[in-house]
Amino acid sequence: MEHKIREMVRDADGSRGELIPLLQKVQSEFGYISQEAVEAIAEEMSLSESRIYGVATFYSEFRLQRPGEHRVKVCMGTSCYLRGGKVLMERTVQTLGIRPGETTPDGKFSLERVACVGCCARSPVVVVDDEVHAKVSSSKLDRIVKNLGGES
Amino acid sequence: MEKIRLQVDGVDLEVEPGTTVKEAAEMAGVKIPALCSHPKLAPYGACRLCLVKIDGMRGYPSSCTTPAAEGMKVTTLDPELQELRRGILEMLLSDHPNVCISCEREGDCDEIRAALRKAPQPTGCRYCPKDGRCELQEAVDLIGVDKDMILPFEPEKPDFKSPFFDRDPNLCILCGRCVRICDEIRGVGALSFVDRGRNSMVATAFNKPLEELGCRFCGACVDACPTGSLIERANKWAGPPERIVTTTCPYCSMGCEIGLGEREDELLRVRPAEGSQLCVRGRFGLDFVSDPRRLNRPQVRKGGKLVEKSWDEALDIAADRLKDFRGRKFALVASPSCTNETLYLLKRFAEEVMDSENVLVFDPAVPAPSWAEDVSLEDVRAARSILVVGDPGETHPALELAVRSAVKGGADLLVISPFFSSLASKSAFWIRPKPGTESIVLTGLARPVIERGLQKESADRAENLSTFIAQIREIDLDEAAKISGVSKEEMVKADEVLAENEPIILVAGLSQETMDAASNLSLLLGRRIIAPGVHANSRGASDLLPVAGDVQDLMRAGEVEAAYIVGAKIPEELLSSLKFLVVQDLFLEGFEDEADVVLPAASFAESDGCFTSFDGRRRQLMRAVSARGGSKPDWRIVAELAKKMGGENFDYERAEEVGAEIDRHLGDRKRPEPRFVLPCLSEPTRADDDRPLLLVARPWLYHFGTGIRTGKVPDLRRLTKDEVVEMNPADLSALGVLSGEKVVLDSDRGRIVVTVKADRRVPAGTVHARATAGMDALLPEVFPGQIRTCAVRVVRSDV
Ligand code: SF4
Ligand code: SF4
Ligand code: SF4
Ligand code: SF4
Ligand code: FES
Ligand code: FES
């Protein structure tokens, strides 16, 4: 992986402005931005690791933990938000014990917030492993998690 | 450039272009509350506390980011502004320990109850280690807050421990000074803002410890922090010092000004003097002063054992014995960390009392050529082009900072170094010769300069020019390129960049040959060269005690029978023929079995006097605490011993009197005419079949000289305790060793076990190491402080 990242940096010609697109590329290739990735980028671009980490944590689109076996995405788009998305998110945070962007210690679940997935009519929406669950209530959410082997 | 005229609170001012409104106001004596701006940092404008009104401008611009402009009319204080500021401040304080600030009886605590200080986390100013130097408190005083508006605060975030200092995020007001100073001034970038919104805080990548992120523990972030969020751990809860004594750092030759905080005759902590930037040694490395292992009482060897004596008795015994060794049989060995006063009296002692010319200053530094004019840090900062040979970041951090600031100002930076360093990584032109071939590259560089007639006028007036040119023309550049691994094209290109301006050439921690080659190049390119001494007073030592003959040879040949060693450590082989040895120092380490008389010396913090820093400037030492135990300042001991032996004119009351005498004695020093040193291209140390790798031990920031002083600092000891070397991954896999495993390093002098790590930046065929006490076992007996190399074999260790 380290090797691949170094190549990506070199392709991106390594100038500073390229950091965000580069992080996006790394994330789409590996699913997240790992510690090793940050180290390799820092070395290749002569940037400090903390600086890169600071940028990566500033934008919610970047994940800094390996995604879980199951990726739970709670929609926080306007429509979902207004129809209980916020409560749903709070509930998920409570159930899984992690914040958006994090992965449970056992590696089973990771949580993300997404903006509108195009199903506003059936909001609030939760997407689990690419499967869209519509009109999700708190109890429905608990069921979904339970079916995947999580406690709730 | 034209000055700018403006009006601040009705006062007319004239300022230089580029001045901010806030700076202009300060010139008029107006203090604007401000929390994020800092004199060393670029304008930032985050806290919004410094907002002002400017006629004709909308809103409330922040005065720290707004440049002064012609005709501006600025209002810094009115009820409306104060109200806005108060709002901002109250918001800040609602997320900050505030019991003291919002307390109705603020300041009366002494009457109510005695201070309780050992709080694990500050809940209010009274329990905060910032000790009243807090800029947030200051802002509260300037602006005032509505005490009822502040919500109670519960500390919720755990604090972080690093070597030397703690980070308490609960006290952080997110001003970003620490993040910016580490990046902008120090060039490290170990800290950063992470996360966003409410969760935003100052942290490191993945919360890694600072030592893994290139932090050099300079403490600049601690000093920039306006609150108690970043604070040194030494005596954290001890309260403020009674006074700060400004003196000079006792480590390297940069002569940085430090402030020693003293209370009740104890050193509490060190802070940089106003506006100065220190390195870890000067900032956090002075624990040796109060180390319990320091020598307290004079001792004399009796029946094979050292026994304590009074000063009088010990000096009598030393005087009585030394009388028998006058002339060539006596040698004086002094350390370049001694003050000028001490060195001068030692010289007089050797010459007048002992009738001997054998004076040895034990200094690893290779001095700049004697023709060289002094180049100061200001010159470096203002330079247009700089050639760095070596790594001043490890040896002379203040010099590295100056180079960094020149580069920020647009200077060209060329670095010649086989190894990665923070300057090399920032340089657009990094020349990487094979280890030990720096002198060959430097000599090689002279050739294109001469061939293309790029040399400056200054070269014409130097001795040896024509012979030098003839010899340089004979140099086979292809051969030089082959030995050094630096191509001809690279050398030509480097010359073109260098010759555009008059470069400052900076050589740190390298051999005499490298120095010679660098001084030749500098003669061709404008004569600006710096070769800073290793020790605080290396320069003073070479001014006062020019090397006379080779005392070391005499000692090795057994001609010296008695020695007086002051502050220096020397190889054991030089001691073997001694019949009588007087040692004067802070610690006895290294002479436990050899010393016949031991005289406890006072440390720099307990002495007056001066050093001469690398640039020839006098740097004052000021006594901050009285001499520990029964020790005495070096100069005083020398004078007393001299008097006991019948020396005349050794009656001094104060160090200043000696200083005045030195000034009369030194007078004006004449510099010799510059001359070229004829090049000698000697082969570097080579690996051989038996020991196929080259070990290169570089000087290390955390381990100064013999390590006796830095080794007394607990956190420095922690940072240096693991013996780690780095090798190229290809070499490692050829040996079948994994990164992180233990290996045996074996040279013709000894063997040690170390941990080896893979590092792609290390050239193949090389073992990269730091000069530590452990490495001494392998390396040739060259003074630590210089790069040292030897051939080694690396064997897997089965332990
Ligand atoms: S940082 Fe300043 S305002 Fe905050 S508790 Fe400490 S002294 Fe008080
Ligand atoms: S101590 Fe120096 S290098 Fe380390 S984080 Fe602070 S400013 Fe940066
Ligand atoms: S730690 Fe100090 S300097 Fe750094 S952002 Fe917080 S308050 Fe400012
Ligand atoms: S650069 Fe040298 S003089 Fe300055 S603080 Fe560091 S060791 Fe002391
Ligand atoms: S807002 Fe949630 S799907 Fe559109
Ligand atoms: S000091 Fe001007 S915005 Fe902070």
pLDDT, one tens digit per residue, over B560-618 is 999 999 999 888 888 888 999 999 999 998 898 999 999 999 999 999 999 999 999 99
- Burial environment of residue B188 by CB neighbours within 10 A (0 to 12, 13 to 18, 19 or more): buried
Pocket test for ligand 1, best of B101, B106, B123, B130 (most atoms within 8 A of CB): B130
A13 pLDDT band, cuts 50/70/90, is low
State if residue B89 touches ligand 6 by the CB under 6 angstroms criterion.
no
Pocket test for ligand 6, best of B26, B31, B49, B135 (most atoms within 8 A of CB): B49
SS3 A113: strand
Q: Any bridge partners for residue B703, and if so which?
A: B700
What is the tens place of the pLDDT at every residue in B607-658?
999 999 999 999 999 999 999 999 999 999 999 999 999 999 999 999 999 9
State if residue B181 touches ligand 2 by the CB under 6 angstroms criterion.
yes
Round to whole Å and give the CA distance between B359 and B362: 10
Number of other residues whose CB lies within 10 A of the CB of residue B141: 11
* DSSP code at position B170: G
State if residue B227 touches ligand 3 by the CB under 6 angstroms criterion.
yes
- Burial environment of residue B279 by CB neighbours within 10 A (0 to 12, 13 to 18, 19 or more): buried
AA identity, residue B578: L
Kindly state the tokens that stand for B599.
């005289």
- Burial environment of residue B509 by CB neighbours within 10 A (0 to 12, 13 to 18, 19 or more): buried
Ligand with the closest atom to the CA of B400 = 4
Residues of A in contact with B195 (CB under 8 A): 57-58
Distance of CA B63 to the CA centre of its chain: 35
* Residue whose CA is at the smallest distance from ligand 1 atom 8: B125
Q: Looking at chain A, which residue has its C-alpha nearest residue B183?
A: A48
Cβ separation B192–A46 shorter than 8 A: no
Write down the mean pLDDT value for chain B: 90
* Cα angle for residues B505, B508, B511 (degrees, 5° grid): 105
- φ/ψ of B160, rounded to 5, equals -110, 135
* DSSP code at position B703: B
Q: Is the pLDDT of residue B683 over 70?
A: no
* DSSP code at position A12: T
- Do the Cβ atoms of B477 and B488 come closer than 8 Å? yes
State if residue B124 touches ligand 1 by the CB under 6 angstroms criterion.
yes
Closest by alpha carbon to A150, among A112, A105, A101?
Answer: A105
Round to whole Å and give the CA distance between B254 and B397: 8
What is the tens place of the pLDDT at every residue in B31-72?
999 999 999 999 999 999 999 999 999 999 999 999 999 999
Round to whole Å and give the CA distance between B579 and B564: 12
Report the residue of B179, B192, B407 to disrupt the A interface, i.e. the one with the largest count of A CBs within 10 Å.
Answer: B192
AA identity, residue B301: R
Report the atom number in ligand 4 closest to the C-alpha of B282: 5
Ramachandran bin of B131, using left for φ above 0, alpha for ψ from -120 to 50, beta for the remaining angles: left
Q: In what helix (H) or strand (E) does residue B10 lie, and over which residues does it extend?
A: none
What is the tens place of the pLDDT at every residue in B158-209?
788 899 999 999 999 999 999 999 999 999 999 999 988 888 999 999 999 9
Cβ separation A60–B196 shorter than 8 A: yes
Q: Any bridge partners for residue B770, and if so which?
A: B698
Query: Pseudo-torsion of CA B497, B503, B509, B514, nearest 10°?
Result: 70
What confidence score (pLDDT) does residue B306 get? 95
pTM (two decimals): 0.89
- Do the Cβ atoms of B479 and B510 come closer than 8 Å? no
Round to whole Å and give the CA distance between A56 and A59: 6
SS3 B598: strand
Q: Looking at chain B, which residue has its C-alpha nearest residue A44?
A: B425
CA of residue B229 to ligand 1 center, whole Å = 8
SS3 B118: coil
Whole-angstrom Cα Rg for chain A: 17
- Do the Cβ atoms of B67 and B20 come closer than 8 Å? yes
Closest by alpha carbon to B471, among B445, B448, B447, B488?
Answer: B447
State if residue B280 touches ligand 2 by the CB under 6 angstroms criterion.
no
